[in-house]
Amino acid sequence: MPPKVFIAKPVPQAVRDYVGKSCDYEMWNEQRPISRSELLDRISDIEGLMVTSLISRIDEELLAKAPKLRIISNISVGYDNFDLEVMKKRQVLGTNTPGVLSNTVADLALGLMLCSARRLSELDRFVKEGQWNSQISEAEFGYDVHHQTLGIIGMGSIGLEVARRAKNGFKMNILYFNRNRNNSAEEELDARYCDLPELLAQSDFVIVLAPLTKETKHLIGSNEFSLMKTSAIFFNISRGGTVDEEALISALRERKIAGAALDVFSHEPINKDNPLLQFPNVITVPHIGSATMTCRNEMAMLAAKNLVAGLKGENPPNLVKELL
């Protein structure tokens, strides 16, 4: 009997066909995201689950409802939804989709950098609202991006792609802070490894790309914002939880930094009354790092390959390192 699998979001036909060759699958086929309780109702006899880090936490409650589950294949690079201890205890494998999204997320990072430094969304509104009545004044000026210093917190494969674009395209000077040294970044791009306080103090643009873990929760808080230049622009493209959002709001109110661009938030979708939505110098986008059709399709296919390999008893290519 082929193993039963549940795919918790719609994926392309080619991905379904791939899974269908070795598994008996069902798929959530609504555009509305599946709720936690709907997910819990669908998993009692499955051996494999394809999900995203944003759909559901993989915890004791979920695993208890799916006693046959052998592998969770995230269609995302982040796996902060995995309760790694519980998965280890129950010997459930967990995989993610690194690599295939690095270029797409890095493109967004550069887009946000240009957009915030040159105030593109503010000034687009300025024109459309009929405020462009004479020559623009210094009030509409932005900041240069080229030749500025970019501080990257989290130099994995996305960080490296951001650094490449910044260095090769905009001649930026790269600083980075990471658990480990990144030789490619240092040799190829002359990136300089430094500690977090130094990176914060010296960077014109500070970008967080580190995954959310126990160690990185609220990595950036009021103390860190105080260390930044008042002209610095702050970016979060990792997970909302890496930043203390209240501290970010205070830093913006007190003009400790010049602006921010955010793809991720402490609560998603963002609450309509979140003060971050009130700042003209804050760009907000709805967690779109990997949101292009090509990239999402590649992620789904990679997740399917991980899933099928795990169910066949092979080593899935992207087993998360904590569960190796």
Residues making contact with ligand GLV (CB under 6 A)? 53, 76-78, 101, 289-290
Cβ proximity to ligand GLV, 82 vs 177, nearer residue: 82
205-208: strand order across its sheet = 192-193, 173-177, 149-153, 205-208, 233-236, 259-262, 282-284
CA separation for the pair 166, 251 (Å, rounded): 26
Catalytic residue among 26, 30, 254, 268: 268
> Is 146 marked active-site?
no
Name the pairing type of β-strands 205-208 and 233-236: parallel
> Is 165 marked active-site?
no
Minimal CA–CA distance to 281: which of 78, 90, 118, 62?
Answer: 118
Residue identified by tokens 């066949």 is: 312
Minimal CA–CA distance to 160: which of 209, 228, 114?
Answer: 209
> Is 36 marked active-site?
no
> Minimum Å distance from CB 142 to ligand GLV?
28
CA separation for the pair 313, 165 (Å, rounded): 39
> Minimum Å distance from CB 98 to ligand GLV?
9
> Minimum Å distance from CB 50 to ligand GLV?
13
Cβ proximity to ligand GLV, 76 vs 116, nearer residue: 76
> Minimum Å distance from CB 79 to ligand GLV?
8
Catalytic residue among 16, 57, 192, 287: 287
Cβ proximity to ligand GLV, 78 vs 156, nearer residue: 78
Catalytic residue among 239, 245, 296, 298: 239
Cβ proximity to ligand GLV, 154 vs 289, nearer residue: 289
- At residue 298's C-alpha, the angle toward residues 287 and 114, to 5°, is 40
Q: Active-site residue numbers?
A: 239, 268, 287
